[in-house]
Structure 1
């Protein structure tokens, strides 16, 4: 992991996200800690220069996120496990998050994504879309709302083989594609490689 992250930094990436999820707090966490454990880790993470702390407690726990955000010297992030505008609005109203990771494939599509992103931006929060299964569409949406900071996108390089129109990253910046559509067309070779037998396949007519 250190080798891969170092290589990305050498390519000009300015921010790197580490996926975690082990039960031992000395290694990492992902919705695995209680509030007390998460609070004890804040000074350690602050010393490491953490930009944000994502879902250290259960994703639905608004009070725990609120208390953690109030105590943290950096931003608390969540959103990939929230599925409606109203769920995000509850977190925002409670000042429980500073990074809103709304995913267009997990809320009610583009309209609800825009409503959530605009509501978050209006409250001075960062909107950083979760890199879900169809993260390609977020590169089109990230510039549609106003915020005080430049929009950020989560990007998973090894998912690019699935798409006909791959994302282009130069010096840590996404170059917005000019092809028509949402950039989510699945490549033929990817469908042949990963499609589950019997699901989504066409059958010959007798």
Structure 2
């Protein structure tokens, strides 16, 4: 294993990327976007005979950012000093624009560095970070606006009845809020399907206007909805804060946070009852843990957004975790590409159940190769 000359610590010797695109099982949409495929950008860092992996969900251009901007500041750095390398990556993208693709590239690299460090030490990442809980609660997430009643019911029953997940979320706000009655029909159908024993959440992805969101929320209360995600765009925290005061269910947002300052702005505005953060967007595990601490300082919980296997170890390490999103698309992709995925039975997952080091994931090259596009 090569050491850094200055510190004698194990150093990063090589960085690689790969891009995989997996078609969805059916066309999907939320309130403001539609898609038929999901792309995962994989980053790997090598230190001696140990390789750490990390990933993000984003465009293939994310891999180019890794090679052009990040590799040069990571190779030769100590794999033990992940926060130092995270800071170096953030500084080097200053003129490229940090929010968006650059932040996603940093996120994938940061996750890979934490995975590599914990593999070097022979520890599950949760043991390196230190656990605050044994199990991480989940909620099933999907319920796309393109689903008909039968598709939606089948998905909800899989989560609640087959897997025992007691919380589920569907998408509303179809066509930028222009299908309000269909939104409410689908919410009613979801409640009828899952019964009164499971929690029901909705996500508008910022599709509604402010007054429309309040009007819809009034009708959602009749179906016992407890979580209203992005009723309006999180770009407008004061509007979110006004809606939060006006409605009885929790108002949540944060998945589009690419910087720590973004989360501070949401929290300072009083915009959310539970902060969401995505480890594959916000700057990786290093920044996700800081976002959780910010939320705790405001007396609020944090919820992990999507990419469940990238989140689960960090999620287990914070005391103010509410839950983790078991997102249909990303669960499918992670089951295809990786070995070591977790079982959601009972509505929770436990990181590192078999003592495997790092994230506990390995790329299954045989299954993954057919989806590789870069």
TM-score by length of 2: 0.49
**What residue in structure 1 maps to residue 269 of structure 2?**
94
* 2:372 pairs with 1:181: no
**How much is the aligned-residue C-alpha RMSD, in angstroms?**
1.7
Unaligned 5+ runs, structure 2: 1-151, 184-203
Match of 1:158 in 2: 332
| Residue-by-residue CA offset, 1:100-151 (whole Å, 9 max, x unaligned) | 110111011211111101111232212111013xx3121101122222xx64
Measured in 2, the distance between the counterparts of 1:166 and 1:42 equals 36
Q: Which residue of 1 aligns with 2:180?
A: 25
- The within-5 A match list for 1:1-206 is 1-11=152-162, 12-23=164-175, 24-28=179-183, 29-132=204-307, 135-147=308-320, 151-156=322-327, 157-159=331-333, 160-177=335-352, 178-196=355-373, 199=374
Structure 2 vs 1, CA of residues 183 and 72 (structure 1 numbering), >3 Å: closer, same or farther? farther
What is the deviation of 1:32?
1.2
**May I ask how many residue pairs the two structures share in their alignment?**
193
Alpha-carbon shift at residue 27 of structure 1 (Å): 2.9
* Structure 1 residue 81 displacement after superposition: 1.3
State how far apart, in whole Å, the 2-side matches of 1:184 and 1:173 are. Answer: 18
Identify which of structures 1 and 2 has the higher relative contact order when contacts are C-alpha pairs closer than 8 Å and 6+ apart: 2
Q: Name the larger-Rg structure.
A: 2
What CA distance in whole angstroms lies between the structure 1 residues aligned with 2:221 and 2:239? 19
Higher helix share goes to which structure? 2
1:76–1:189 distance in 2 versus 1, CA, 3 Å: farther
CA contact (8 A) 1:137 1:183 kept: no
Question: Any conservation in 2 of the 1:31–1:55 contact (CA below 8 Å)?
Answer: yes
Could you list the runs of 4 or more consecutive aligned residues of structure 1 that deviate by over 4 angstroms after TM superposition? none
* Separation in 2, partners of 1:52, 1:169: 21
Q: Structure 1 residues 80 and 183, CA, compared in 2 at 3 Å: closer, same or farther?
A: farther
Partner of 1:120: helix, strand, or coil?
helix
Q: Is the 8 A contact 2:173 2:208 kept in 1?
A: no
